[in-house]
Structure 1
């Protein structure tokens, strides 16, 4: 890939925050999901988790291509999603108006953190609330009790970014080199990536000049007209 593109991708990978994520529970409006993923990309979220019966289509004009830079990991149910997040030692928060809810700005987001955002109309399900470690709210002083879910997501994410910047968490690379290599190949060589996936071949190493380093057997398999 061109050196400029390689350098740009490397720069944003250096700023990715794999210990910060969202869990979308049954969101069904494409423009909301697209806007949320765009905000995730903007603050350096690497992967979003989701539980839904039917995945919404991204709105290209809203997402602005951010869906290509933020992975989405789907789970069968909210309990499975939370269980997975807790294996990564994440504190799991849920946006939910309750007596035990705290102001979202009181949370320490320098800790590994996942935030559950519930469905647009009904909010988080009782199962999500029960699974989470803490309810959080965005204080409201108007007549309405909540914000649009994509706006709420952006506010919480930028508070997390603020805290992490002050703590110097954007100063050193948090993402593993293995994860960096995967995204470098996927974004730098999309046609080869599609061919690689079709043939079930491992992704090659991308060197510091943005070139593929692979042995002769890998190239020979890539050149075959049909998958092995």
Structure 2
């Protein structure tokens, strides 16, 4: 791994916000899902949630531009599962919907642990997400249309959260688990070795402060040994 890539990955890890997330409530279009993931990566969101009743969920790689490697998507079959995850982290749940109690999304304090729920392209947020909300939010519009594309709306809210958190100096201090950071540094800094580890079922090694692999002689011997899969072909 080059020093430049090592520094860039570490900078990303230092800025990840573990108590800020987005929940896609049955958003179906793969390009919209990918665009939200890309925006989440840009503002430093560590992982997003997706309520997806079906088994399969695809992300448009062209739109995501590799962001899915950096932002984990946690899938739920029902919104109640996502709600439990948010409550476990004491997050305020902000659901986008037009209601009598909805407020301008900019009037929210995003320095608190926050989950932002975005609805799908046709029906908006689900009744379960609306009921679970700590606060309903909306994006004011003065034109003829009633709503924005979900990925555009999500980006607006996420960047407001980033703005507030930057003013509060919430970026730049690493909050992620050390083991997770080691995994990211190895997988993204040494992808060939990481692929070989998964194929040969070898545990990941440690990464030192220069981004280099720290491993025993036995580990290197196993890495250099013939691939069992190749021998069976």
Q: Same fold (TM over 0.5)?
A: yes
Residue 90 of structure 2: SS of its match in structure 1?
coil
Structure 1 counterpart of 2:228: 226
**Cα distance per residue 1:145-186 (max 9 Å; x no partner):** 211101100100010000000000013223232221121111
Which of residues 57, 60, 67 is equivalent to 1:58? 60
Considering only aligned residues, what root-mean-square deviation do their CA atoms show, in Å?
1.7
Q: How does 1:44-193 map to 2 (within 5 A)?
A: 44-52=44-52, 53=54, 54-60=56-62, 62-193=63-194
**Cα distance per residue 1:107-132 (max 9 Å; x no partner):** 11111111111111111111121222
More displaced stretch, 31-40 vs 188-197: 188-197
Residue 141 of structure 1: SS of its match in structure 2?
coil
| Distance in 1 of aligned mates of 2:159 and 2:165 | 10
| Distance in 1 of aligned mates of 2:176 and 2:24 | 22
The alpha carbon displacement at 1:58 in A equals 1.5
**Cα distance per residue 1:173-219 (max 9 Å; x no partner):** 23232221121111112222223233444322111111111223333
The alignment of Structure 1 onto Structure 2 pairs a total of residues equal to: 226
Bigger Rg over Cα: 2
| Distance in 1 of aligned mates of 2:59 and 2:113 | 29
The alpha carbon displacement at 1:78 in A equals 1.1
| Distance in 2 of aligned mates of 1:173 and 1:96 | 33
Q: Is contact 1:82–1:132 with CA below 8 Å preserved after alignment?
A: no
More displaced stretch, 197-206 vs 69-78: 197-206
Q: 1:207 to 1:29 in 2, by over 3 A?
A: same
